[in-house]
Amino acid sequence: MINLLDAHNILEQDGIFFSFSGRVTQTVLVGLGSAIESKLQDLHVPRRTITDIFSIFTEQMQNMINYAKDHDNLGLFIMGYSKKRERYFVGSGNYIDEEDIPNITQKLGKLQVMSKSELKDFYLQTRRDDRDVENEGAGLGLIEIARRASEPIEYEIAEKGEHMFFQIIAYI
């Protein structure tokens, strides 16, 4: 029989206390978001940190929802606390098309080296210039994550069989 406790223990080793695997929808986002908020409130996490975590969570989930629209995708999500770094983290992953990789790595690479004030300027500039109403502000979402994270966003792209798997983790 599948041992749920073993699965839980594996997650716990990395400090993960929320996880999701499946198709991400707005309903999943809203439900998980509420659960995360109440858990953090119970832990007496400062309001500002809760807002940062919630915001990063929402942007990551909505990026996955939007991407899954034309990809019928698997979405993975984790949230937890790293004792080693003494920070909360929010991570997500999904399969992506190979052709989308240059665009995303270029965007993330640019964000990784920016200071907080550069990120602010870049956010404001992108919000001003982005006239493409159809793209749901995809670029703005990543900048939002970078602004609210305490360390540069970490990402990884791995080849899994014929597909490419993309994941990002933000530490707060």
Partner 1 sequence: MEKIHISETKYTPEIILDPFDRNIKIRGSSYPENTFEFYHETMDWIEEFLKEESEKPIIVELEIAYFNSSSSKLLFDFFTLFEDAQDEGRDIQIYWKYNIENDYGKESGEEFQEEFDTLNFNLVVVN
Q: Does 51 bind partner 1 (CB under 8 A)?
A: yes
Q: Would you tell me how many other CB atoms lie within 10 Å of the CB of residue 62?
A: 17
Q: Does 32 bind partner 1 (CB under 8 A)?
A: no
* x/- letters, 125..144, toward partner 1 (CB under 8 A): --xx-x--xx-xx--xx-xx
Q: How far is the CB of 133 from partner 1 (least distance, A)?
A: 5
Q: Does 30 bind partner 1 (CB under 8 A)?
A: yes
- Looking up tokens 């695997």 gives 21
Tokens read off for 102? 């240059």
Contact 73, 67 (CB under 8 A): yes
> What DSSP string runs through 82-136?
ETTTTEEEEEEEEEE-GGGHHHHHHHHHHHHT--HHHHHHHHHHHHHH---GGGT
Cα–Cα dist 48/39, whole Å:
15
Q: Which of residues 66-105 bind partner 1 (CB under 8 A)?
A: none
Q: How far is the CB of 99 from partner 1 (least distance, A)?
A: 23
Size of interface with partner 1, in residues (CB under 8 A): 26
Amino acid at site 18: F
* x/- letters, 103..122, toward partner 1 (CB under 8 A): -----------------x--
What residues make contact with partner 1 under the rule CB under 8 A? 26, 29-30, 34, 47-48, 51, 54-55, 58-59, 62, 65, 120, 124, 127-128, 130, 133-134, 136-137, 140-141, 143-144
